Structure 1
Amino acid sequence: MTPTSGSSRPNVAVIGLGYIGLPTAAVLASSGADVIGVDINQKAVDLINQGEVPFVEPDMSTTVAGVVSQGYLKATTETPHADNYIVAVPTPFKEGHKPDLVFIETAGKQIAPLLKGNELVILESTSPPGATEFLADTILNARPDLTLEPGTANSVYFAHCPERVLPGRIMIELRTNDRIVGTLNGDAGERARELYELFCEGEFLMTDARTAEMAKLTENAYRDVNIAFANELSMIADGLDINVWELIKLANHHPRVNILQPGPGVGGHCIAVDPWFIVASAPEQSSLVRTAREVNDSKPGFVLDKLLPQAKRINDVQIAALGLAFKPNIDDLRESPARQIVGRLAAELPQANIMAVEPNIEALPAELADCENVTLTELNEAVRNADIVLLLVDHNEFTRLDRSLLAQKIVHDTRGVWG
C-alpha cells in the first residue's frame, strides 16, 4: 500500500459512488486514506463536494460532511491516477438474466492508461465467477506493457473483495463484518487486506478471486432460497384459507425451524440479481437456485391477482400504495417489487387514483412520474382517501400508523405487520 508523496496516508480512487462506493470512500477517508471518488453523475459529484449525500443511509451524511471539509474525500467525473483502485460499479443482468459486465469493462478502460506499475486494483462489485479476471484482461489488453507476473516494475495486482453489508446499516457493517479477500495474482490479497484494515474490525478470510466472487453469490442465493420458501408457503396458505403469519409463528416454535417472513417479492441489487449469476455460470446444476428466483419473481403477480378484482369493482377506485423502496427505512428502489406492483397497477387501472406513499424520496421514479394516475402522497392523506390500502414496505411510519384509519377500508398487508 503505497502512500501519497509526502503523506503517510494511502491514496485510493473509488470508481462508482453509489450505495456501496460512497460509504466505502467515506469510511476509508475517515480512517486514514486520501480518497478521490469517481462517478459519471455530475449532480452526485457536486453534492458530495458540498459535503452532502445523494441518497439516504443512516450515519453516512455526517461522515461525508466531515471528510469532505477536511479535504480527505473529493469527488470527480474524471478518473485519476492512484496507488489503489476500488471498483464499485453496478453489475446488472441483461436479457435472459445473463450478467452484464459493461460497467466493469468501462472502469477498466478508464483505469488502464493511468497505470504506471505496482498499483492495486480491487473489484468490489458483486460479480459472477471470473469477473476479476475479466477486469484484469480488460486492463492488460489496453496496456500490453503491463503484466500480472508479480515482482516486476510493470506488475499490476488484482483482488476481489465483495461487500457484505445491509442497506440501512452500511456504515456500521463496513467496520464490523468479516471480510472475504480473494487474490488474483501475487500478494494482491495481502495488500487489499492492509488497505481494508484501516477501517474493518472483522476477520479477514483469505481465498482466491473466483472463490471470493462465488462466496458473495452463495450468501445471497441462500437467502433467496429461504425467502422463496416463505413466499411459496404464503401462496399455499392463501389457497387453503390459512393465516400464513400464524402458521410461520407456530412452525418456528420448533427448535430447528426458522422460517423467514414472506412479502410482495424480493428487491435490491443483491438478492434479486446475484442468484442469476450462479444460474448463468452453471445452468444445468442450479435448478433450485433458478426455481427460488422464479418463485420470488412471481410474487408481485400474486399480489396483483388478489387486489385487481376488488379494485375493478369500485368506480374511480382510490388506492393507497404504502412503500416503493425494496426494504424498510431506506430510499433504495432498485429491483423493488413494490415499485413494480405500483407500475403494473397504474397500467391495469387507468381510471384509478394511485396514491404512492414513500417517505424516503422527494420525487417519483421516472416510469411512475410519467403515469397520470400515480401521485406521491403524504401517508395520512392517502390512507384517509383510499378505498384500498396496500402495504408493500414495512417502513416505521407505516407500522406506527393509527389502525383506526383503516376502518371501512379494504386492506392488503403484504408484510404481516397489522395483524
Structure 2
Amino acid sequence: MLDVKINVIGMGYIGLPTALMFAANNIEVIGTDYDEKLITQLMLGKVTFEEDGLTELFEKAVSHGISFSTTYHPADIYIVAVPTPYNKTSKKIDPTYVLSALKSIMEISPKGSTIVIESTVSPGTINKLVYPLIKENGFIIGEDVHLVHAPERIIPGNMIYELINNSRTIGSDNIDVGNIVKELYQVFCKGEIVLTDIRTAEMTKVIENTFRDINIAFANELTKICRSDDMDVYEIIRIANMHPRVNILQPGPGVGGHCISVDPWFLVGDYPDLTNLILAARKINDSMPQHVLKRIRDIMKNNNIKDISRVGLYGLTYKENVDDIRESPTLQLLEKMDEHLAFGVKVFDPMLKEVVVENQIMDFNDFLNEIDILVIMVSHSHIKDNMDNLKTKLILDTKNVCYFEGVYKL
C-alpha cells in the first residue's frame, strides 16, 4: 500500500471512477465536487450514473474508507478531473474549471504536493496558463508544488475495464515526479504506462480523438455521396473493408460525447491556419444531424405525413447503452428542428430515468403509440431486443441495426 492521500477534484464521468479505483486499491481518497446534490447522493451510498461494474467498485471503495466532500482537503496528490469545454466562437479551450480548481488547491495544499491534471487540455495550455497561475500565487514549481498531466483514456460503457487495462500517458517535465505518479497509477493499471513530457502528453491525447473524428467524417461523407446517387453505403463499406489495408468505420447521425466532438476544436482554435483537414472533418460530423433532418422530411413527404409530432426519435444519449447525453447527436438534431420551427417531435430513451427534453416519453409502448415515423438515433440493446414491435412503423435507421425490409437508411 502506498502511503499517500489523494484528493480527486471533480466527481463526474472521469473523476468518480478514478477515485473509486484508487480507494478500492487501498489508497486514502477524498472525492471533491462543488455539486452538493451529487456529493449528498454519493455520501448516501448511491452512484450518480450508470456504468457496468461501477456499483460494485463503489461498494468496494466505500468499504476501504473513501470519503466525499464539497470542499478541498490537504493531500499529497491532487487529481483534477473537471470539464474542459471549448468556446464555440473562438474554438479555443475554455480552461475556467481547471484554473478554478487549481486556485482552490493552492489555498490548502501542503508544500511539495503534486497536482495531476487528468482533464483534457489543448497543447500548450499548461505552459501558457497553468504555470503562470501557479507562479502568480507565489508557488515555486518543483519545490512548493509539482505538476503532471495524465490524460484519461476511457470510454463510457466500458470505463472500469479500460481504467484497468488501457495504457496511459504520464506527462511530467521532472522525470522523478513522473515516476512517482507512474507508480501510483500502477496500483490498478495493468496497461503500459508511458512517461513523457507535459506538452507531448497534451498533444497525444488531443490527436487520439482527432484521428477518430477524421475517420468518422470519412464514413459520414461517404454516406452523403451514396445517398445523392442512390447507392448502398453499408454494402460499399462492407466490400471495401475486405481489402486487407482498408477499415472504413460505420456512418452515423453525428458525433457526441465530451471527447471526439470537442478535442479537435482545441487544435482548430490554436492552429487555425494548419488544421484544414481537421476543420473539414468537424464540419462534416457536425452536419450529420442536419442530414438526418432532411431524411426525415423526405420520408414525411413521400408518405404524405405532415404532422412532425408523429415523428419519434429513439435515443438521447451520445452512444449505446450509457446514460451520458453530452453533445449527443439527438440533442443537436432537436436544436436543428427548433431552428426550423419543427416542434412536437417525440423522444424516448430507455437509459434515462428523468425527463431532459420536451416531449420525452418515458414508456416505450406509449412512445410507439404516439408516432408513425421512428428514427433510430442510438443502437441501445433495448431497441435490438424490440425489433418485432417496430414493423408497423416507418423507420429511419441511422445506425443500421434493423434486419427487415423497407427500412430507410442514412
Alignment TM-score > 0.5, same fold: yes
- Per the alignment, residue 32 of structure 2 pairs with 38
Worse overlay, 94-103 or 379-388: 379-388
- Per the alignment, residue 415 of structure 1 pairs with 399
Worse overlay, 249-258 or 336-345: 336-345
- Per the alignment, residue 356 of structure 1 pairs with 347
Number of matched residues? 398
Letter in 2 for 1:15: I
> Within 1, Cα distance between the matches of 2:216 and 2:198?
28
Letter in 1 for 2:74: H
- Per the alignment, residue 12 of structure 1 pairs with 6
> Within 1, Cα distance between the matches of 2:181 and 2:59?
26
Quote the RMSD (CA, aligned, Å): 1.8
| Of 334, 338, 361, the match for 1:342 | 334
| Of 52, 63, 76, the match for 1:83 | 76
User: Is 1:182 the counterpart of 2:171 in the alignment?
Assistant: yes
User: Is 1:284 the counterpart of 2:238 in the alignment?
Assistant: no
- Per the alignment, residue 134 of structure 2 pairs with 139
- Per the alignment, residue 226 of structure 2 pairs with 237
Shift of 1:343: 4.1
- Helix, strand or coil at the partner of 1:359: coil
Shift of 1:195: 1.1
> Within 2, Cα distance between the matches of 1:193 and 1:9?
15
**Closer, same or farther in 2 for the Cα pair 1:33/1:70, shift >3 Å?**
closer
- Per the alignment, residue 295 of structure 1 pairs with 284
Letter in 2 for 1:78: T
Identity of aligned residues (%): 39
> Within 2, Cα distance between the matches of 1:293 and 1:64?
36
Worse overlay, 382-391 or 102-111: 382-391
Unaligned runs of 5+ in 2: 404-410
- Per the alignment, residue 155 of structure 1 pairs with 144
- Per the alignment, residue 49 of structure 1 pairs with 43
- Helix, strand or coil at the partner of 1:97: coil
Letter in 2 for 1:210: R
Worse overlay, 263-272 or 122-131: 122-131
Shift of 1:323: 0.2
* Residues 37, 75 of structure 1: 8 Å contact kept: yes
Shift of 1:291: 0.7
- Per the alignment, residue 325 of structure 1 pairs with 317
> Within 1, Cα distance between the matches of 2:384 and 2:399?
10
- Helix, strand or coil at the partner of 2:375: strand
Normalised by the size of structure 1, how large is the TM-score? 0.91
Letter in 1 for 2:196: T
| Of 104, 108, 119, the match for 2:102 | 108
For each residue in 1:36-83, what CA deviation from the matched residue of structure 2 results, as whole angstroms up to 9, or x when unmatched?
111111111011112211111111112112322442x11111111110
* Residues 60, 171 of structure 1: 8 Å contact kept: yes
* Residues 290, 336 of structure 2: 8 Å contact kept: no
- Helix, strand or coil at the partner of 1:236: helix
The runs of at least 4 consecutive aligned structure 1 residues that moved more than 6 Å come to: none
Letter in 2 for 1:377: M
**Closer, same or farther in 2 for the Cα pair 1:404/1:102, shift >3 Å?**
closer
Unaligned runs of 5+ in 1: none
> Within 2, Cα distance between the matches of 1:243 and 1:306?
15
- Per the alignment, residue 214 of structure 1 pairs with 203
Shift of 1:137: 2.6
Shift of 1:209: 0.4
For each residue in 1:241-297, what CA deviation from the matched residue of structure 2 results, as whole angstroms up to 9, or x when unmatched?
011111111111111111000000000000000011111222211111111111100
Normalised by the size of structure 2, how large is the TM-score? 0.93
Shift of 1:383: 2.5
